[in-house]
Amino acid sequence: MTALTQPRASVIVRGSIDEAARVGAALIAALVRERPDAVLGLATGSSPLPLYRALRGVDLARARGFALDEYAGIDHAHPESYHSVIRRDVVEPLGMDPGRVRVPDSAGADAYDDAIAAAGGVDLQILGIGANGHIGFNEPGSGLDTRTRVVALTERTRQDNRRFFGGDVDLVPTHAVTQGLATILSARSILLIAAGRAKADAVAAAIEGPVTSECPASSLQRHPAVTYLLDAEAASGLRGA
Ligand code: F6R
């Protein structure tokens, strides 16, 4: 990948992530007011939780959703499967229709991009970022042309996620199915939310570093409509901060 300047990124920094999340929730509320059946790309993990909390009370009954990723080889009924997490953290508290929300499955990876396209594409993709710069589970080395596929998780990501599995890294799946970078970049708009010092280097590399497959989030510099929602700590590595 070669460097390009970022066309229209908007970097929103607030003292707390809850304040930043409220800005994001207002953008989503405006989208669904205009298009009640808007297609949302849904991230899991800790980062988007303040955004999902800030969305309570917004009418998402007709909105559609496509989750970003899912562990491979995990029972959908496992409490930490992203099927369970999306139902628990997003669909139920936000009153979404479970029939309108899809989560990928390793067996159906190839058909996932087609399903997104058949829905008219994602209007707004919500993202977190890994400490190693991953988005979705596109780990360093992922190409810009990647589509939904099964990938191996890095040791760093498995260590970062062991907190969801009782602290035991051996219980963290070794593989996942993830939307690819090309899938993510095909969304019409993107909201990336990040909080805390542990994300500062990845955020700085994503926004101000070169576009390189070593930092998959730097590929967002190629997208025309990305909004970063950051707390002061996550923004602390930015030269412009
Ligand atoms: C989750 C996902 C991941 C996370 C990232 C950050 O669906 O795709 O890219 O966004 O690993 O995780 P948290 O937010 O738990 O720090």
Per the prediction, the chain carries an average pLDDT of: 95
pTM: 0.96
Query: Does ligand 1 lie within 6 Å of residue 173's CB atom?
Result: no
- In this structure, the residue with its CA closest to atom 4 of ligand 1 is 128
pLDDT surpassing 70 at residue 214: yes
pLDDT tier for residue 198 given thresholds of 50, 70 and 90: very high
Query: Does ligand 1 lie within 6 Å of residue 135's CB atom?
Result: yes
What confidence tens digit (pLDDT) does each residue in 80-97 have?
999 999 999 999 999 999
Which has the higher per-residue pLDDT, 162 or 7?
A: 162
Ligand 1 atom, smallest distance to 134 CA: 9
Burial of 235 (0-12, 13-18, 19+ CB in 10 A): buried
Q: Would you state the pLDDT for residue 3? A: 36
Burial of 3 (0-12, 13-18, 19+ CB in 10 A): exposed
CA distance 40 to 126: 7
Query: Does ligand 1 lie within 6 Å of residue 130's CB atom?
Result: yes
Q: Would you state the pLDDT for residue 63? A: 98
Residue 97 carries which DSSP code? Answer: -
pLDDT surpassing 80 at residue 5: no
Average pLDDT over residues 159-171: 97
- In this structure, the residue with its CA closest to atom 1 of ligand 1 is 44
Q: Would you state the pLDDT for residue 175? A: 98
Q: How far is the centre of ligand 1, averaged over its atoms, from the C-alpha of 77 (Å)?
A: 20
pLDDT surpassing 60 at residue 32: yes
Q: How far is the centre of ligand 1, averaged over its atoms, from the C-alpha of 194 (Å)?
A: 9
Average pLDDT over residues 15-41: 98
Query: Does ligand 1 lie within 6 Å of residue 104's CB atom?
Result: no
